[in-house]
Structure 1
């Protein structure tokens, strides 16, 4: 008898077909108020679930007595209560690495578009306000040969470093929980303290996972340390930043600009002051949003799901202390 699994986000047909070879699949293209009660009913007999964003905590797990594995089709897993999953012997997986290059492209896009004010100037042209030669009022700042500070030198940080160093001759500073010798040797990155990174960098790129230790790690104190000419980039998670402190830093000129792909509340509230700031470039959490990369992520999540239910070690098992038989 095939194990029952729930896929609760839209996935490509080939991903669904792959799972269906070994599992009985209940498929939701997304969860909302109209189908959530049906989802909970199906959850009672499910052995695996696959999707992203769903809060998997004690209250949900209490309704899933047969669950053996939960699979995120994302690199982040702050929606998982890892301790609770570990206590119940439930495996958890995510999809790191396969999105590194695509997210790095997005980060470089934010760096360039923020520094050169591209969205603002795009609107200038489209609104018919480009009536003469562009003067200093509309100038941006150079990216090449500047100092890029990366907070979180993991796979994505390394991919950004490669682009910045070899594409734009940028000098790289980084701060991480541990030294990344490969980044130092291959790209000439220099390890330094958080304080030194903030003081010296022309661009500060935050690339850490969301944990209790990283929540609000960029706040009033950190923005005050940055140069007035510096640009802040966030493609990690919205809650790694104190948004009120960021708004204040931008409004008072403590920093020059910001490029953001993530927010504390997503989708972002329409009254969020960041949306009305001309020195802020905003994106709707599109870091990995290409068809090619999303297919790779979904297929890796499916591979994790099938492997775990067949008694194998999933390729990207999150370390929860659960032993795989």
Structure 2
């Protein structure tokens, strides 16, 4: 038994993914709540996680030589110190592209919720306030321009939904994406590729973020960027907390520069009254969700099973999976 590769699952996975693991032969499986990070670093051959557990440089440096791979459900791997993993020769694997549809769906939902002030009005009704329809006006998104920062799989799905549902135009910015990544989907009448971020910010009615959190993207939307945006613009962040300077965002909202913001990714997650009650949560034009872009029953099952299958291939020497480091 001790010779079997040990697989530690440090975060909750969908029951369908756990069932695949339970049926797998040739592994020693440790599940929550028995799976503890310290023990995994000492004994694991492979670690499965989501976004809840962080593996710092110190964690990875003290991991035993047994640890060969870290598999992350979802696309973002900012909770793993990639430089430390690379230095130790530990592969880090994710499941990119799979949850694009569900994240794009939530992005559009937040845009509509903010623009039509749905949660704001819902709260007024529930609190017993008098409903005066002539004073409860929202913002139409029909034929408005959507600016997408990050032209990856999620950004492309958001663009397709916006184009068909809103009959709107798209302006995109991504210095590393190829021209064909978007021109294959849209013609020149409905899509423009911005050469600089300010060009996008000046033109878009709604701005949606779909980039990873890196040193280059941290606080990429801050005081200067808010000043460039159109008055009454809507900002959406379904990517990662830290991309938006939240203090600058609050100032832009309170000043009336921004119409509103839809936030699925925050610096402090999950968002609480303690962390945001006197700031962003106090603003009626902010709609928050607790990083649930991929949180549908279907998607959690699929991405969980995919991460598990990648890990099983790796520990048994199958497949040709590529590490992100």
1:215-254 pair list within 5 angstroms: 215-254=218-257
- Aligned match of 1:78: 78
Instruction: Tell me, in whole angstroms, the C-alpha distance in 2 between the residues paired with 1:314 and 1:104.
Output: 29
- Aligned match of 1:57: 56
User: Which among 286, 299, 310 is matched to residue 304 of structure 1?
Assistant: 310
Instruction: Tell me, in whole angstroms, the C-alpha distance in 2 between the residues paired with 1:87 and 1:214.
Output: 24
Q: Tell me the alpha carbon deviations over residues 245-291 of structure 1, each in whole angstroms, 9 at most, x when there is no partner.
A: 10111111121111111111112242420000001111111111111
Normalised by the size of structure 1, how large is the TM-score?
A: 0.91
2:273 partner SS: coil
1:187 partner SS: coil
- Aligned match of 1:318: 323
Once the 2 structures are TM-superposed, how far is the Cα of residue 130 of structure 1 from its aligned partner? 4.2
Once the 2 structures are TM-superposed, how far is the Cα of residue 307 of structure 1 from its aligned partner? 1.2
8 Å Cα contact 2:15-2:301 kept in structure 1: no
3-12 vs 122-131, which moves further: 122-131
Once the 2 structures are TM-superposed, how far is the Cα of residue 19 of structure 1 from its aligned partner? 2.5
8 Å Cα contact 2:73-2:95 kept in structure 1: yes
Instruction: Tell me, in whole angstroms, the C-alpha distance in 1 between the residues paired with 2:117 and 2:148.
Output: 21
- Aligned match of 1:12: 14
- Aligned match of 2:286: 280
Q: How many residues align?
A: 311
8 Å Cα contact 1:56-1:80 kept in structure 2: yes
Q: Tell me the alpha carbon deviations over residues 281-324 of structure 1, each in whole angstroms, 9 at most, x when there is no partner.
A: 11111111111101111111101111111223454x3331xxxx
Flag as ranges the 4+ runs of structure 1 deviating above 6 A.
none
Normalised by the size of structure 2, how large is the TM-score?
A: 0.91
43-52 vs 56-65, which moves further: 56-65
Residue 154, structure 1, aligned to residue 152, structure 2: yes
- Aligned match of 1:32: none
1:30-41 pair list within 5 angstroms: 38-41=36-39
8 Å Cα contact 1:184-1:190 kept in structure 2: no
8 Å Cα contact 2:16-2:301 kept in structure 1: no
Instruction: Tell me, in whole angstroms, the C-alpha distance in 1 between the residues paired with 2:320 and 2:125.
Output: 51
Residue 214, structure 1, aligned to residue 220, structure 2: no
Once the 2 structures are TM-superposed, how far is the Cα of residue 119 of structure 1 from its aligned partner? 0.5
User: Which among 223, 248, 258 is matched to residue 255 of structure 1?
Assistant: 258
Once the 2 structures are TM-superposed, how far is the Cα of residue 131 of structure 1 from its aligned partner? 4.1
Instruction: Tell me, in whole angstroms, the C-alpha distance in 2 between the residues paired with 1:106 and 1:77.
Output: 21
1:174 partner SS: strand
Instruction: Tell me, in whole angstroms, the C-alpha distance in 2 between the residues paired with 1:51 and 1:212.
Output: 23
Once the 2 structures are TM-superposed, how far is the Cα of residue 241 of structure 1 from its aligned partner? 0.9
Q: C-alpha root-mean-square deviation of aligned residues, in Å?
A: 1.7
1:131–1:217: structure 2 CA closer, same or farther, 3 Å change rule? Answer: closer
Q: Tell me the alpha carbon deviations over residues 161-204 of structure 1, each in whole angstroms, 9 at most, x when there is no partner.
A: 00001121110000002234242232232101211110010000
Q: Which runs of 5+ in 1 are unaligned?
A: 30-34, 321-325
